[in-house]
Amino acid sequence: MIILICGFTASGKSYASRFVAKKLNYKMIHTSDVLRQILENKVVDISNTQMNTGWYEKSEIDLKRKKNTSIDKKLDQYLLKLIDTKDDLVLDSWTLPYLSKKGVKIWLDADLAERAKRAALRGDFSYNESVRLTKKKDDFSKKHFKELYGFTLGKDLNKFDLVLDTNNLSIPEVENAVLNFIKKKN
């Protein structure tokens, strides 16, 4: 089974993905780490990808991605090939649920204020700075993927098997809700 977990920054994607992968004994792919490897011109190694701990928000990656759309296309082509040739994977991806017909697709939703609070904790910056950075990343991503692929991230939710509001849920509550849903689908 392929499991694709999507949502805006700090919605809970990485925690839920890691938890589900561990419980099901699946391979976890943090796609932001694959993106980082591509940007650093490294040979992509998915053996131990790492979740975003704030490096993305502190970088100027969106400027690079805006100037060079081949970065995203290379990432997505790699990931699409991966899910076509492997099984028992969990990926935290913004694009795969929209680009592929494969997989159980889950959208984790949370409002900007909650996500900024979470991002500030992991990124070690102030709440106000986190609001600014998170909104900037959201706005860029919505526009970028609309121009690149024609979908509106966070709007076109009919592609998802589950849409879960994580605003008032703890990390374990999100993890267990996602896992229980997947077990019912399996």
Residue 77 has pLDDT above 70, yes or no: yes
Q: Give the per-residue pLDDT at 45.
A: 86
> CATH code for 2-185?
3.40.50.300
The pTM for the full model equals: 0.91
Region 66-88: what's the mean pLDDT? 92
Kindly give, in sequence order, each residue whose CB lies less than 8 Å from that of residue 81, ignoring residues fewer than 6 positions away.
none
Task: Report pLDDT for 57.
Answer: 56
Percent of the chain at pLDDT above 70? 95
What average pLDDT does the chain have?
90
Amino acid at 151: F
Angstrom distance (rounded) from CA 51 to CA 33: 7
Average pLDDT over residues 123-131: 87
Q: How many CB atoms lie within 10 A of CB 72?
A: 19
Domain ranges for the chain, please list them: 2-185
